[in-house]
Amino acid sequence: MLKKLILLFYLWNSFVFSQANLNAFLKPTDSLNKARRNGVYLSEVAIGGITLLGLNQLWYADYPKSNFHTINDNNEWLQMDKMGHAFSTYNLGRFGAEALKWSGASRKNQLIYGSTLGFSFMTVVEVFDGYSSNWGFSWGDMIANFSGTLLYVSQDLLWNEQRIVPKFSFHNTEYASARPAVLGSNLQEQILKDYNGQTYWLSGNVHSFFKKSKIPTWLNLAVGYGAKGMITGQEALVNTVFFPDKQRTRVYYLSFDVDLTKIKTKSHFLKTVCSLFNTVKIPAPTFQMDQFGKAEWYFLYF
Bridge partners (DSSP) of residue 256 are: 221
Phi, psi of 256 (to 5 degrees): -90, 160
- Amino acid at the residue 1: M
Per-residue pLDDT at 237: 53
Mean pLDDT is lowest, of 72-76, 142-146, 245-249, for 245-249
Residue 56: pLDDT band with limits 50, 70, 90: confident
Per-residue pLDDT at 19: 59
Residue 111 DSSP code: I
Instruction: Quote the mean pLDDT of the chain.
Output: 89
Query: How far, in Å, CA of 13 to CA of 127, rounded?
Result: 51
Query: How far, in Å, CA of 250 to CA of 229, rounded?
Result: 9
Query: How far, in Å, CA of 195 to CA of 233, rounded?
Result: 10
Mention every residue, 6+ apart, whose C-beta is less than 8 A from residue 116: 93, 96, 149
What is the mean pLDDT of the segment spanning 3-27?
53
Q: Is 70 exceeded by the pLDDT of residue 4?
A: no
Per-residue pLDDT at 217: 96
Mean pLDDT is lowest, of 55-59, 159-163, 168-172, for 55-59
Q: Is 90 exceeded by the pLDDT of residue 252?
A: yes
Q: Is 74 helix (H, G, I), strand (E, B) or coil?
A: coil
Q: What is the dihedral of CA 268, 269, 271, 274, to 10 degrees?
A: 180
Per-residue pLDDT at 234: 82
Q: Is 90 exceeded by the pLDDT of residue 274?
A: yes
Per-residue pLDDT at 5: 36
Residue 116 DSSP code: T
User: Does residue 260 contact residue 246 with C-beta atoms inside 8 Å?
Assistant: no
How does pLDDT run across 16-53, given as a tens digit for each residue?
Answer: 445 567 778 888 988 999 999 999 999 988 988 898 88
Per-residue pLDDT at 13: 39
**Separation in Å, CA 28 to CA 19, 94, 118, 271:** 16, 15, 22, 11
- Amino acid at the residue 235: E
- Amino acid at the residue 12: W
Nearest to 95 by CA among 55, 35, 138, 48: 48
Q: Is 19 helix (H, G, I), strand (E, B) or coil?
A: helix
What is the mean pLDDT of the segment spanning 252-262?
97
Mention every residue, 6+ apart, whose C-beta is less than 8 A from residue 141: 73, 81, 82, 85, 122, 126, 129
Per-residue pLDDT at 10: 41
Give the residue, 123 or 17, on which the prediction is more confident: 123
- Amino acid at the residue 67: N
CA 93, 212, 111 angle in degrees (round to 5)? Answer: 15
What is the mean pLDDT of the segment spanning 54-70?
83
How does pLDDT run across 203-233, given as a tens digit for each residue?
Answer: 999 999 999 999 999 999 999 999 999 988 8
Q: Is 60 exceeded by the pLDDT of residue 7?
A: no
**pLDDT > 90 in the chain, percent:** 71
Per-residue pLDDT at 238: 57
Q: Is 80 exceeded by the pLDDT of residue 280?
A: yes
Residue 3: pLDDT band with limits 50, 70, 90: very low
* Phi and psi based region of residue 78 (left: phi greater than 0; alpha: psi -120 to 50; beta: remaining): left
Q: Is 80 exceeded by the pLDDT of residue 64?
A: yes
Q: Is 70 exceeded by the pLDDT of residue 15?
A: no
User: Does residue 276 contact residue 260 with C-beta atoms inside 8 Å?
Assistant: no
CA 152, 156, 162 angle in degrees (round to 5)? Answer: 65
